[in-house]
């Protein structure tokens, strides 16, 4: 896989700063990382909370290793998915470790077991990373994937040194509104409203992103929303690149809203993002795996069902158990959403 990278005509560096990057729609307050860290310490200093955890869906390994008819997306927990077409296999944010933390003895622990061992996965052609936070970029997972499969890693600007330090050999950095041309399709690096940093003192030195995936099927596009607050970028992505057929959108870690709204969508906002994108299918991610915020792990899908029903899109939402797959088989022509 040797990608050719070029910029779209509307490419700009408005989100660049002298020291890193920023959100062009809203810039969180300078003290927010410390507030967030203090909030986490207070929250996780409390007694263990009773979550109604997602079921661990039994994976049929033989079926998983067979190429799909058109598209198969298996949710591996949090923002980790295995995306398969007849000619391409991708991993997104493969955080498949036990703890989202820089240390093994503290930090958010995985509440639902990883549904499949890394060495049992179908060999990925490429790995898409959205940003460098520990619940999305896990050192142990990257090391194992790089050693076992040696795939190509596509990462936002500034993330390559971290990924290479974990053993990745083939790494391509991309900026918002750049595109990688592959033999099997195209990868568009698209905006997200978030932040970055693997410590309290290196905030926003690397970029955060979402991804639009075009396959070699001209009627099949998938949007990986990764980790983002709600903003204009969802409508911009549709305007510039067209509507995806499937949108993987985050729905968890949204309370308290007074600061989570800057970097994470709540379920009603995720529904609005889905409508902005004009997608046909909504696969929720970024919930039910790590206890990262004030809401309980079973609350996001409850709130999502209510928001989806109010918006009239209930039949387009595909809530998965961890390890379960969404299959898109019928090659129906893309419909234009209102």
The verdict on residue 291 lying in a domain is yes
Task: Tell me how far apart the alpha carbons of residues 188 and 120 are, in angstroms, rounded to a whole number.
Answer: 28
Q: What pLDDT sits at residue 52?
A: 81
The verdict on residue 203 lying in a domain is yes
Q: What is the pLDDT of residues 167-213, one digit of tens each?
A: 999 999 999 999 999 988 999 999 999 999 987 777 899 999 999 99
The total number of structural domains in the chain stands at 1
Q: Which residues contact 261 (CB under 8 A, 6 or more apart)?
A: 229, 230, 254
Asked if the model's pLDDT at residue 144 lies above 80, the reply is yes
**Three-state secondary structure along 223-278?**
EECCCCCCCCHHHHHHHHHCCCCEEEEECCCCCCHHHHCCCCCCHHHHHHHHHHHC
CB burial readout 179-192, b (16+ within 10 A) else e: bbebebbbbbbbbb
26 vs 24, higher pLDDT: 24
The verdict on residue 110 lying in a domain is yes
Tell me what the mean pLDDT of segment 84-91 comes to: 96
Provide the greatest CA pair distance for the chain. 52
The verdict on residue 30 lying in a domain is no
- Residue numbers of the domain that contains 299: 55-325
Q: State pTM to two decimals.
A: 0.93
Q: What pLDDT sits at residue 8?
A: 97
The distance in angstroms from the start CA to the end CA of the chain is: 37
Q: What pLDDT sits at residue 202?
A: 78
Q: What is the pLDDT of residues 60-75, one digit of tens each?
A: 999 999 999 999 999 9
Asked if the model's pLDDT at residue 263 lies above 60, the reply is yes
pLDDT band at residue 333, thresholds of 50, 70 and 90?
very low
Instruction: Report in angstroms the alpha-carbon separations of 7 from 13, 181, 252.
Output: 11, 11, 32
Tell me what the mean pLDDT of segment 267-275 comes to: 98
The verdict on residue 41 lying in a domain is no
pLDDT band at residue 36, thresholds of 50, 70 and 90?
low
Instruction: Give the Cα-Cα-Cα angle 118, 78, 121 (nearest 5 degrees).
Output: 20
The verdict on residue 44 lying in a domain is no
Q: What pLDDT sits at residue 39?
A: 58
Q: What pLDDT sits at residue 334?
A: 46
The verdict on residue 106 lying in a domain is yes
pLDDT band at residue 103, thresholds of 50, 70 and 90?
confident
The verdict on residue 277 lying in a domain is yes
Q: What is the pLDDT of residues 280-299, one digit of tens each?
A: 999 999 999 999 888 999 99
The proportion of the chain whose per-residue pLDDT surpasses 70, expressed as a percent, equals: 90
- The CATH number covering residue 88 comes to 3.60.15.10
Q: What is the pLDDT of residues 202-260, one digit of tens each?
A: 789 999 999 999 998 988 999 999 999 999 999 999 999 999 999 999 999 999 888 78
Task: Tell me how far apart the alpha carbons of residues 110 and 322 are, in angstroms, rounded to a whole number.
Answer: 12
């Amino acid at each position: 896989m040797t990608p050719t990278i070029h910029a779209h005509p509307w490419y700009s560096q408005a989100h660049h700063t002298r020291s890193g990057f920023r959100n062009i729609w809203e810039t969180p307050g300078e003290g927010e990382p410390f507030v967030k860290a203090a909030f986490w310490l207070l929250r996780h200093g409390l007694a263990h909370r009773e979550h109604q955890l997602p079921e661990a869906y039994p994976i049929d390994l033989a079926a998983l290793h067979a190429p799909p008819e058109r598209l198969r997306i298996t949710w591996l927990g949090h923002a980790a998915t295995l995306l398969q077409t007849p000619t391409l296999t991708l991993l997104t944010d493969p955080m498949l470790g036990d703890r989202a933390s820089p240390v093994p003895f503290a930090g958010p622990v995985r509440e639902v077991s990883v549904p499949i061992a890394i060495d049992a996965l179908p060999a990925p052609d490429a790995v898409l990373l959205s940003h460098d936070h520990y619940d999305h970029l896990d050192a142990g997972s990257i090391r194992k994937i790089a050693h076992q499969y040696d795939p190509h890693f596509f990462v936002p600007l500034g993330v390559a040194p971290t990924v290479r330090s974990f053993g990745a050999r083939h790494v391509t950095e991309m900026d918002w509104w750049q595109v990688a041309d592959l033999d099997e399709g195209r990868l568009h690096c698209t905006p997200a409203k978030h932040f970055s940093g693997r410590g309290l003192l290196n905030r926003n030195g690397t970029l955060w992103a979402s991804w639009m995936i075009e396959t070699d099927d001209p009627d099949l596009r998938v949007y990986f929303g990764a980790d983002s607050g709600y903003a204009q970028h969802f409508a911009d992505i549709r305007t510039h690149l067209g509507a995806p057929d499937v949108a993987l959108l985050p729905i968890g870690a949204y309370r308290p809203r007074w600061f989570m709204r800057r970097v994470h969508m709540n379920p009603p906002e995720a529904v609005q993002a889905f409508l902005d994108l004009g997608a046909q299918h909504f696969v929720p991610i970024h919930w039910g795996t790590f206890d990262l915020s004030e809401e309980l792990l079973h609350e996001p899908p409850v709130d999502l069902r209510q928001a989806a029903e109010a918006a009239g899109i209930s039949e387009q939402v595909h809530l998965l158990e961890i390890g379960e797959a969404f299959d898109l088989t019928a090659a129906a022509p893309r419909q234009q959403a209102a």
